[in-house]
A and B are shown apart, each in its own frame.
Chain A
């Protein structure tokens, strides 16, 4: 039995970051799938592991680690396998800068829209009493607010518009950075690319008018290159929902604006 257990949802966003990092490093782990849409992450069995009820969490021996980006840095430092952080200190700074920019500025905007179009509708039809009880079990007050909004479709027009602005600007910034070099933050594949792929793999499906081979050739080249890696293929094969399966769009050699996804 491996001494690593990962509690995760889909290969997507925060869950997918340590999944892909472990798989790139060739570290075997017990996969413990939590169904976010059934609120497994707020069930007593999981709260006993991570009282905050956030996904993912990793057990290494008897230690519990949370916070997906920090887990990736731990995985990189503690296990052998290919290096996922550059050796140069300034490159390492750039990896961290991009990860924070994505984690704190860009991803929440992607996720607000993702929750509106995917998570909210996916759980909305459940029994209202069951939903209410599920929300009350959420330990973090901020997450309670987020779930209430997603379920009742209460995101305001203004905040959705601000999220769309950030998505469009973030896509332009990624395209410019990836025009400068092969990888996002340095000249080697790194945690920043793993982080970025988790955020951006669905771009050409969700935002075909903003991200396609004509407008953002460097982003598409980058996404396809990462998708071609054996670890990425194996990781996304662990997906169970239509959300993770969107990754298949990267098998298309050419994605043009307005193309039906």
Chain B
């Protein structure tokens, strides 16, 4: 089966999919694209609805037998289904429900907050021609706002709160356990991928959180994560950001 992964620096959604790919030992051709310059929009599949309208924003694209697939948590579920490596989700349905609801919280609350703070500190930059190629009007609008440096104080403070709440939730969850779902899973990878870059940007969220601090090191030390991070071309991949999911429009 021909599989190609178009990915950026190992941070955020690219880190999730690279780590899942390595953990599951799925053979794939790896193709580097600069997500922070909008290069996803130059791919031949860029106007496919699943690429153009991906809720995740500028994430990696997995091309399997010509079908372009996006959204990192679901790509990790797919890789978990097809690869021979150790399972990345619990075997029992309740544990799988916990994994999916955990990841949904990260996708919906933590990821937009992290992308906002990450992009403010390390702005992505696409040229006018690249912006023209973006198929989704709301994604293009987010690019424009970010490149113009339009971050409202409300938005920033809400984002910091969301990071603090996510870290607090992980600290509580890790009471008496090494991994969020008992064994190393997609929930650990996805949570780490969005939060690793927040340690330097929202240090107060991590202060006095010994279990989270130890867990971050543990995730980083997992062979699949280490291997994904070894693909970094920058000194600190956790400081490389592109436009992420939108903050909930309402409710």
A96 contact from B49, B77, B82, B94, Cβ within 8 A: B77
Tell me, rounded to whole Å, the shortest Cβ–Cβ distance linking B91 to chain A.
Answer: 10
Q: What does DSSP make chain A's interface, helix, strand, loop or mixed?
A: helix
User: B81 and A92: CB pair below 8 A?
Assistant: yes
Nearest CB on B from A211, distance (A): 18
* B251 x A101 contact (CB < 8 A): no
Q: Which residues of A contact B82 (CB under 8 A)?
A: 89
B251 and A145: CB pair below 8 A?
yes
Interface positions, chain B 100-118, Cβ under 8 Å from A, are 100-101, 104, 107-108
CB of A241 within 8 A of chain B?
Answer: no
Question: Does chain B have a CB within 8 A of A32?
Answer: no
A46 CA to B86 CA, complexed, in Å:
39
Could you say which residues of chain B place their CB within 8 Å of the CB of A151?
A: none
- Does B249 lie at the interface of the complex (its beta carbon under 8 Å from any beta carbon of A)? yes
Contact mask B79-90 → A, CB, 8 Å, 1/0? 001100000000
* Closest chain B CB from A6 CB (angstroms): 15
Chain B, residue nearest A74 (CB): B97
Inter-subunit contact A105/B81 (CB<8 Å) = no
Residue pair B55, A101 in contact (C-beta under 8 Å)? yes
Segment with Cβ contacts to B, from A64-72, A194-202, A224-232, A251-259: A64-72
What residues of B have a CB within 8 angstroms of the CB of A166 in the complex? 138
CA A145 – CA B81 in complex, angstroms?
Answer: 40
User: With A67-B104, A97-B50 in contact, is A149–B97 under 8 Å at CB?
Assistant: no
Contact of B71 among A74, A78, A89, A96 (CB under 8 A): A96
Chain A residue contacts of B245, Cβ below 8 A: 104
A77 pairs with B96, CB closer than 8 A: yes
- Closest partner residue, chain B, to A66 (CB atom): B101
Beta-carbon contact of A67 and B101 below 8 Å: yes
Knowing A92-B81, A104-B55, the reply to whether A97 touches B96 (Cβ < 8 A) is: no
Partner pick for B94 among A63, A90, A109, CB 8 A cutoff: A63
In this assembly, does A213 line the interface, its C-beta being within 8 Å of a C-beta of chain B?
no
Closest CB in chain A relative to B159 CB, distance in Å: 14
Say if the beta carbon of A143 comes within 8 Å of chain B: yes
Q: Which residue of B lies closest to A149 (CB)?
A: B250
Contact of A108 among B94, B100, B248 (CB under 8 A): B248
Is there an interface contact between A65 and B250, defined as CB atoms closer than 8 Å? no
B residues less than 8 Å from A109 (CB atoms): 249
Report chain B residues within 8 Å CB of A145: 250-251
Mostly, the B contact residues are helix
A residues near B204, Cβ cutoff 8 Å? none
Chain B interfacial residues counted at CB < 8 A: 31
Known: A63-B94, A73-B100, A89-B82. A96 touches B248 (CB 8 A): no
State the CA gap A101–B249 with chains docked (Å). Answer: 14
Do the beta carbons of B81 and A173 come within 8 Å of each other?
no
Bound Cα distance from A93 to B49, whole angstroms? 14
Q: Which residues of B contact A100 (CB under 8 A)?
A: 55, 71, 74, 107
Which residues between 51 and 84 of chain A lie within 8 Å of chain B, taking CB atoms?
Answer: 63, 65-67, 69-71, 73-74, 77-78
Closest chain A residue to B70 by CB distance?
Answer: A97
Is the Cβ of B49 less than 8 Å from the Cβ of A70?
no
> B55 near A74 (CB under 8 angstroms)?
no
Residue of A66, A78, A90, A101 touching B53 (CB-CB under 8 A): A101
- Give the nearest-CB partner of A146 in chain B: B251
Interface string of A81-120 (1 = CB under 8 A from B): 0000000011011101100110011001101100000000
Write out, one digit per residue, whether chain B residues 106-132 have a CB within 8 A of any chain A CB (1) or not (0). Answer: 011000000000000000000000000
Binding site for B on A (CB under 8 A): 63, 65-67, 69-71, 73-74, 77-78, 89-90, 92-94, 96-97, 100-101, 104-105, 108-109, 111-112, 142-143, 145-146, 149, 155, 159, 162-163, 165-166, 173, 176-177
